[in-house]
Homo-oligomer: A and B are copies of this chain.
Amino acid sequence: MKLTIALLPGDGIGPEVIEQAVKVCDAIAIKYKHEIHWKKALTGAAAIDAVGDPYPDETHEVCSTSDAVLFGAIGDPKYDNDPSAKVRPEQGLLRMRKKLGLFANVRPTFTFPSLIDKSPLKRERIEGTDLVFLRELTGGIYFGKRGREDNGDTAYDTCTYTRAEIKRLARKGFELAMKRSKKLCCVDKANVLESSRLWRETVQQMEKEYPEVTVSYEFVDAVAMRLVQWPNDYDVLITENLFGDILTDEASVISGSMGLMPSASLGESIGLYEPIHGSYPQAAGKDIANPLATVLSAAMMFEDLDLTEEAGAIRDVVNASLAQGVVTEDLAEGGKSYKTSEVGDWLARNI
């Protein structure tokens, strides 16, 4: 198969982890006789520094004409403490999501048997945890009207949802639930927010299309609590943009290591694949960042391109590296650790 994949390394440790994923994908291509054409493009602070725009038109062009996008990380602390900065790396990410129509962020959360004791949660709470969040990614308060009034002394943001936006996300949730344990949890704040009431109403109406799926409705505050108490109560969860942002990061602690958690952002056509961790500037350039989340994101990419065997081969080699202790220092527990590039080389060699 011929594949064109847009490569967006981004900021901080992004370029380093992306490099390892490329090695692994190239090894897959050789083994399974594919041809991958990588198209590198700028995004984030790196793009601001280079061309003054965190998501330049050329980058959009590259992404929208590729079969998939592999993304590193975005963000630079120099923008964080300047609330008045006019251009920010994150704008690039948001614009990219919107322009590529990536309305569904898929974030699996699971535990690796060999890493379960690294979790801050007790083993008995998380053994067997295997849940997926579907976070709506192109609507809500992230994209509503915002601004200032009263000479800057009043600020507002608007959270808007349409029935159609909710439906297409919820449909992905129902479909995923059908393939899994047929349990779906809709997370909202319908006791306060009108947008949440529209979510609940819309999902309730869709229930009859999927009579086999058991749907529950929970308030976001309750889920924030129960998610780390009894994660095994959940399977597929659907929610709006901001709640998803908060809850998926919270859920990442279950696995014991952010450095392992992949994600996919899907729309009608193209998909974007990225590790859930950020740009982690403190570690940038040191060849110490854990590349596994990015490598596992590449596995999700192959899966969605219907290259299931290839995806499985990546997951297997990641499991082998964990089992044999070929890991970066964050997972080494004080034992022998490997550099980012060494882990990448090992994975590629063992595909």
A residues touching B (Cβ–Cβ < 8 Å)? Answer: 75, 79-81, 83-84, 88, 90, 94, 120-122, 125, 141-142, 144, 146-148, 150, 152-164, 189-195, 197-198, 200-201, 204, 217, 220-222, 224-225, 227-230, 242-243, 245-250, 252-253, 258
Contacts and interface: CB of A to CB of B under 8 A. Distances in A.
A156 B224 CA distance: 23
A58 B228 CA distance: 41
A224 B246 contact: yes
Contacts of A248: 221
Given A141-B159, A220-B245, 10 more contacts: A79-B191, A80-B190, A84-B201, A144-B156, A152-B198, A154-B160, A154-B163, A221-B245, A224-B247, A224-B250
A200 B83 CA distance: 7
A84 B252 CA distance: 34
Contacts of A158: 156-159
Contact of A155 (B94, B146, B189, B194): B194
A71 to B, nearest CB: 17
Given A141-B193, A246-B224, A154 B159 contact: no
Nearest to A201: B83
25 contacts: A75-B191, A80-B191, A81-B204, A83-B197, A83-B198, A83-B204, A90-B192, A122-B122, A141-B159, A141-B192, A146-B194, A146-B195, A154-B162, A154-B198, A155-B194, A155-B198, A156-B158, A156-B195, A189-B245, A220-B245, A221-B245, A222-B249, A224-B224, A225-B253, A243-B246
A243 to B, nearest CB: 8
Given A80-B190, A249-B225, A150 B162 contact: yes
Contacts of A125: 120
Copies, count? 2
Contacts of A156: 144, 158-161, 194-195
A270 B107 CA distance: 44
A76 to B, nearest CB: 11
A129 to B, nearest CB: 12
B163 A153 contact: yes
A246 B229 contact: no
Contacts of A157: 158-159, 193-195
B80 A217 contact: yes
Contacts of A153: 162-164
A246 B228 contact: no
A229 B144 CA distance: 32
Residue from A222, A224, A228 having most chain B Cβ neighbours under 10 A: A224
Contacts of A229: 120, 253
A205 B125 CA distance: 43
Given A162-B153, A224-B246, A193 B146 contact: yes
